[in-house]
Amino acid sequence: QQPVQSPQAVILREGEDAVINCSSSKALYSVHWYRQKHGEAPVFLMILLKGGEQKGHEKISASFNEKKQQSSLYLTASQLSYSGTYFCGTDSDDYKLSFGAGTTVTVRA
């Protein structure tokens, strides 16, 4: 079952912050975050494992609340290069990822 992402879209000015949420109705083993630019394949940002969180990738970080079966991606001091569609992929311990519908982020100068 697909996780639910929110918001669907967000428009930011350079330097502003944003949060993207991802929630699942199933227990999660890990959550994966990707960014996809128009016409390109998704690029891996980070993975969050059960019981912990990982940060990595410019000023983008994420958290994973396994009890709530939720993950959030934080875009801090956004840059123009942050524009794209962000997908969360959830893994319920069978290594197959189910992707949310995506959140389109537009960063304007």
Partner 1 sequence: GAVVSQHPSWVICKSGTSVKIECRSLDFQATTMFWYRQFPKQSLMLMATSNEGSKATYEQGVEKDKFLINHASLTLSTLTVTSAHPEDSSFYICSARSLGTGGSQTQYFGPGTRLLVL
Of 19 and 47, CB closest to partner 1: 47
Among the listed residues 65, 76, 98, 106, the single contact to partner 1 using CB under 8 A: 98
Count of alpha carbons within 13 angstroms of residue 68, beta-carbon side = 10
Q: Using an 8 Å Cβ cutoff, are 105 and 85 in contact?
A: yes
Q: How far apart are CA 78 and CA 26, in angstroms?
A: 31
Strand pairing report for 43-49 and 30-36? antiparallel
Q: Does 32 bind partner 1 (CB under 8 A)?
A: yes
Among the listed residues 22, 23, 42, 107, the single contact to partner 1 using CB under 8 A: 42
Query: In the complex, what is the shortest distance from the CB of residue 62 to partner 1, in angstroms, rounded to a whole number?
Result: 14
Q: List residues near partner 1 by CB under 8 A.
A: 2, 30, 32, 34, 40-44, 47, 49, 87, 89, 91, 95-102
